[in-house]
Amino acid sequence: MVTQQHHHRPTLKQSNKSFKSKHASKGSLKDAQKGKAPRSSPKLHSTISNDSAQLRLNRRNAAKQAQLTKRQSLVDSRRLFGSGGTPRIVVVVSLTSDVDSRSCVELLALALGEVVDGKEKLNAPRFKTSLQFLFPDTFYSTLDALLIADYLLLVLSPSVEVDEKGETLMRTMQSVGMPSVVAVAGGSIQETSTKTSKEQKEILKSLLSFTQYFVPSLNRVYDLSSPPSSASSEALNTVRALCESIPAEIKWRTGRSYLLADQLAWVESDSNNDSKKDAEPTVLGSLSMTGIIRGASLDPNRLVHLPGWGDYQIDKILSAPLPRPSKTTSKTNADFMDQDDAPLESILLAEPTPSEADSLASTNPMDDEEELQREQTWPTDEEMRAADRDIDLDVEGQEPIPDAPKGTTPKRIKRLPKGMSEYQAAWVVDSDDEGDDNDEDEQNDADSDVDAVEKDAAMDEADEVDDDAESSTGGKKKVRFGDQEDYEDLPQDEEEAQLASWRLAREKEKEREKEEQTHTLFPDELDTPQHIPAQQRFARYRGLRSFRTSPWDPYENLPREYGRIFSWEGQGDRRGGGAFKRMERSIMKRVEKEGKGIEPSTRVTVVLKKVPRNSPSPLSLFALHPHEHKKTVLNLTAIRNTEYTRSVRSKDPLVLFMGFRRLKVKPIYSAYEGGKIPPNNVHKFLRYLRHGGTSMATIYGPVMFGSGKVSCVLLREADVEASASGTPALVASGTLAAPSTTRIIAKRVILTGHPFKVHKKTATVRYMFFNAADVDYFSPIQLHTKQGRTGHIKESLGTHGYFKAHFDGPISQMDTVCMSLYKRVWPRWSETR
């Protein structure tokens, strides 16, 4: 018997999908979702055949080239700070007042056996490098010093906690961007700590925890307050951390040339002698800044920026070499500086080319016809009528009040106590100010009050006979409380004036807080005025069926300021930031390809022309790329500081730190969609900068390359007097976004009405308008309710602004009928601070 072989049915066989290499794998999709940059394969960019591209030798060669490139960049950075080369810039910041930062630097110099010279330089031959220390003493000088710093040396106190001023400074420095940070527990040469080793470890642990909140990468705090035996080793370790580590890269400084000024010289130009004396013009001259070029090459054709001063042109670049000491004699660090004061003869290195040099024009010139129309003024009707009668109008255009005839104005004599000033007397209530009746009892009471004030003044004068210092100090009295510093009392009139101004500022702040709370409860809602027609009050507003998709022409009804700013190709597209980035990439590639200018690590003297004589002196110089001096519409993201609780409204005056620029701005805020641009490029205007989200701030300002890399900080100086720390308040921080002149910021106004009578989907609405003409004018605009219903105006009822509206569903009488109106708002101009 023949056995038959068993077979499965073909329908039960499983057929798997074949692998398709054109699709991405799961791992690559996860990496892309995490934000990892894909590694470019050498096989994709190879010009040889596919068979040879698969060879392992090509992959090894590509990896070796990447390794050599990274190693060469590391060698170049070390060579820049090599022996006799560019010194490392160290900014020393003390967060408390009980620790002297200069004493800490003296401990570092003592550990090396060197002395800090008069120019705050410390030679470290043991590490084959040198350090240059900066000791900023104010809030703004600290932020300016961070712009050029390679390291930040934080000096902490082992016994005193960081106050509000120190925390504000740390938060601001964190937002601006810190270089490599080294933290030490401060001490001095004369005073040393008497705490046990266990207590000292706990203190260092607490200081490290505080510092890591702002600098998470920091892993150690060096103790300079310990006994001299251990403090010397800690000081040596601190110097080693400053001399052997590689400074952190500041992204916005990449590809940009900058310079720290070692010497400054200002010479008045001859053109000032020809100017008129009575006009008192600004004295201009040439400013010479001597220092070592850092970063990229310095091109004389480019403009330069002095923080806090502005943008200027380069006149010429001279060499400024330092003489080298002879090999036969041994020189100390102080002897080196004696020779530095007498440099060798300067040689002309570069001059700007007139045809290639950048212009200082930051705005477009206005048309002559527009200037004539703006300057030309026509007389008003009141002025014409007054001219016929030969009457001179006052400043406000009104007829002046005629003088009273002689003898009709009675003289009022006010009795003042001895020693009372006119300002104090203004606060004394007189009987004539209360009313028109001259009552004898009120007059007697006033006289008795004046007599009482005279007696009190006489007693105070008798008590203060021995205080002769008060008259010599202009009315100020010195008082000393225990071991505290001397406190000076202000004069009484000045004290009262400050009290009145403080109370007025507090009342204004309360009103702002109430307005913000009302706006939070009823956002953008506005009562329709009754004294003027609504179509006249909201003539500049429009209705939109859809805020995201309704068309809005970005070039419609542009203000005069838009004729002064610059734009670039591709701005008509709603994604104008892409056109700006393409222009930025092309300019940077062209600058890198040409490679003009003086190489880094060269000590030069940069002579700037047409510089006013200001104070304080500039600390640094930054080179500008092409077009970075021109004004346009700048956008920057803003995240509200959680520690700042006061109201921040659009167009409030603030101080903006944007890279190396410091501007006085009045930004307007708008909604930030996280990079998702609406189809019509319309963004909602925000009246207040709120907590818990990211907003977009917009100003008129100079162009700056590096969008997404340049950090921005908004400070408020109005709170300096009210703040206990005496420093500006940190309002918000963020980064610079791509500028766009076609980004529409729309301000919304919501008119509300009450459904007077309701019948299913139809309602009679009142209090939205107050005349029939306004109802007919706004009838094409769509209505909506707070509960989500939409509708439209059907017909007007009567003459008092009542109208009948029809909705897409039944509405409740407890609902509110709303109408949204929009108008475009514009930013404000910025100024260099």
Strand ranges inside 50-199, DSSP E: 88-94, 121-124, 129-134, 151-156, 180-185
Amino acid 152: pLDDT: 93
Residue 8 pLDDT exceeds 90 = no
CB 364: neighbour CB atoms within 10 A?
A: 14
Tokens of 719: 């709170």
Average pLDDT over residues 446-474: 44
User: Which is nearest to 295 in space by CA: 647, 625, 719?
Assistant: 625
- Given a cut of 70, whether residue 180 has pLDDT beyond it is yes
Report the phi/psi class of residue 124: left, alpha or beta, with left for phi > 0 and alpha for psi in -120 to 50: beta
Cβ pair 331, 325 in contact under 8 A: yes
User: For 660-685, what is the HEC assignment?
Assistant: CEEEEECCEEEECCCCCCCCCCEEEE
Tokens at residue 176, please? 């601006």
First vs last C-alpha separation in the chain: 108
pLDDT band, very low/low/confident/very high, at 338 (cuts 50, 70, 90) = very low
Are 336 and 585 a contacting pair, CB within 8 Å?
no
Q: 279 pLDDT exceeds 80?
A: no
HEC secondary structure over 473-536: CCCCEEECCCCCCCEEECCHHHHHHHHHHHHHHHHHHHHHHHHHHHHHHCCCEECCCCCCCHHH
What's the confidence (pLDDT) of residue 465? 41
CA distance 609 to 272: 13
Cβ–Cβ under 8 Å, residues 443 and 429: no
State how far the Cα of 172 lies from the Cα of 695, in Å rounded to an integer.
Answer: 19
Residue 122 has pLDDT above 90, yes or no: no
Q: Is 134 helix (H, G, I), strand (E, B) or coil?
A: strand
What's the confidence (pLDDT) of residue 400?
52
Residue 233 has what pLDDT? 86
Task: Please give the pLDDT value at position 395.
Answer: 42
Please count the CA atoms within 13 angstroms of the CA of 77 that sit on its side-chain side.
15
Token reading at 8: 């499965």
The DSSP symbol for 98 reads: T
Confidence at residue 334, expressed as pLDDT on a 0 to 100 scale: 40
Q: How far apart, in Å, are the Cα atoms of 227 and each of 107, 183, 234, 235, 633?
A: 12, 18, 10, 12, 58
So what's the pLDDT on residue 369?
Answer: 47
What are the tens digits of pLDDT across the range 229-263? 667 888 899 999 998 888 888 888 888 899 998 88
The model's pLDDT over 487-546, given as tens digits with 9 standing for 90+, comes to 567 788 888 888 888 788 888 888 888 888 888 888 889 889 988 999 999 999 999 999
Backbone angles phi, psi at 700, to 5 degrees: -90, 120
What is the 3-class SS of 763-806, one letter each residue? EEEECCCCCHHHHHHCCCCCEEECCCCEEEEEEEECCCCEEEEE
Query: Considering Cα of 75, then 76, then 80, then 85, what sign does the dihedral take?
Result: positive
Q: For residue 750, give every residue at least 6 positions away whose Cβ sits within 8 Å of its Cβ, in sequence order, or none.
A: 523, 524, 525, 526, 818, 819, 820, 821
Contact criterion met (CB below 8 Å) for 611 and 719: no
Is residue 579 over pLDDT 50? yes
Compute the average pLDDT of residues 10-39.
68
Phi, psi of 66 (to 5 degrees): -65, -40
409-438 per-position pLDDT tens digit: 444 445 555 455 554 455 444 444 434 444
Alpha-carbon dihedral sign for residues 519, 525, 530, 533: positive
Angle, to 10 degrees, between the axis of helix 197-214 and the axis of helix 164-176? 50
pLDDT of residue 435: 41
Average pLDDT of the chain, as a whole number: 77
Cβ count within 10 A of residue 573: 14
Asked whether residue 823 carries a pLDDT value surpassing 50, the answer given is: yes
Is residue 136 reached through a cis peptide bond, with omega within 30 degrees of 0 on the bond before it?
no
The first and second tokens of residue 415, run together, are 């009795």
Across the strands, what pairs with 133? 90
Q: Is the pLDDT of residue 377 over 70?
A: no
User: Given this model, what pLDDT does residue 271 score?
Assistant: 63
687 CB-contact burial (10 Å; exposed 0-12 / middle 13-18 / buried 19+):
middle
Name the pTM for this structure.
Answer: 0.73
Provide the pairing of β-strand 744-759 with 525-526. parallel
Q: Token pair of 627, please?
A: 């077009």
Q: What is the pLDDT of residue 537?
A: 92
What percentage of residues in the chain have a pLDDT greater than 70?
71
Residue 324: pLDDT band by 50, 70, 90 thresholds? low
Return d(Cα 444, Cα 184) in angstroms, integer.
71
What does the alpha-carbon distance between residue 256 and residue 661 come to, in Å, rounded to a whole number? 14
Per-residue model confidence (pLDDT) at position 411: 45
**Quick one: pLDDT at residue 409?**
46
The structure tokens listed for 568 are: 């670039």
Residue 281, Cβ neighbours under 10 Å: how many? Answer: 12
Q: What is the mean pLDDT of residues 649-654?
A: 92
CA 290/CA 413 separation, integer angstroms: 68
CB atoms within 10 A of CB 809: 12
Q: Is 576 helix (H, G, I), strand (E, B) or coil?
A: helix
Among 184-188, 381-385, 393-397, 770-774, the range scoring the smallest mean pLDDT is 393-397
User: How confident is residue 368, by pLDDT bands cut at 50, 70 and 90?
Assistant: low
Which of 92, 218, 219 lies closest to 153, judged by CA?
A: 92
CA distance 724 to 563: 44
pLDDT of residue 655 exceeding 90, the answer is: yes
The residue that leads in pLDDT, 719 or 590, is 590
Q: Which 3 state secondary structure label does DSSP give 457? A: helix
Rounded mean pLDDT, 622-644: 91
Euclidean distance between CA atoms 250 and 178, whole angstroms: 8
pLDDT number for residue 128 = 84
Q: Give the pairing of strands 802-807 and 762-766.
A: antiparallel
CA 13-18-20 angle, 5° bins: 165
Whole-angstrom distance, CA of residue 234 vs CA of residue 378: 78
Question: How far, in Å, CA of 311 to CA of 536, rounded?
Answer: 45
3-state secondary structure 356-399: CCCCCCCCCCCCHHHHHHHHCCCCCHHHHHHHHCCCCCCCCCCC
**What pLDDT does residue 447 have?**
45
